[in-house]
Amino acid sequence: MLYYRCPDGTVVDELDLPEVLARHYTREDFENEVDRIDGSITICGSTFSASRILRELDPDLYDSAYSEAIESNTEELMEEVGIEEIFPGDEGYPEGVA
């Protein structure tokens, strides 16, 4: 099991890391990225953002894509947020775990 220290000193394991990163890479951030890449779509004269279409027409795919975005950008997000991997002997590393 891998462990990480957050800027506030809390330690999380690899299973909780995506949840912690989701606090910093929000769904709004994800939607802005989707819209930046795919832009807007006009249907019968009405314009919709690509993220809104994805979110409303296929919520499961939207959730999956959001999770995948966090997973594929984990290292970048960790660096941006200031989360670092810790090892046995480091401050905060859980006792009795090796």
- Whether 75 has a pLDDT exceeding 80, the answer reads yes
Say how many residues make up the chain. Answer: 98
Residue 98 lies in a domain: no
* Same domain flag for 45 and 15: no
* Same domain flag for 33 and 17: no
Lowest mean pLDDT among 15-19, 59-63, 79-83, 90-94: 90-94
Residue 85 lies in a domain: yes
**Average pLDDT of 63-81?**
95
CB neighbourhood size of 63 (10 A):
12
Full-prediction pTM beyond 0.85? no
CB neighbourhood size of 8 (10 A):
6
Q: How many domains does the chain have?
A: 2
Residue 31 lies in a domain: yes
Q: List the beta bridge partners of residue 12.
A: 4
- Whether 98 has a pLDDT exceeding 60, the answer reads no
**Average pLDDT of 27-46?**
94
* Same domain flag for 21 and 33: no
Task: Kindly indicate the confidence band of residue 92, based on its pLDDT and cuts at 50, 70 and 90.
Answer: confident
* Same domain flag for 63 and 89: no
Q: Which domain holds residue 51?
A: 27-72
* Same domain flag for 42 and 61: yes
What is the reported pLDDT for 12?
94
Q: List the beta bridge partners of residue 41.
A: 48
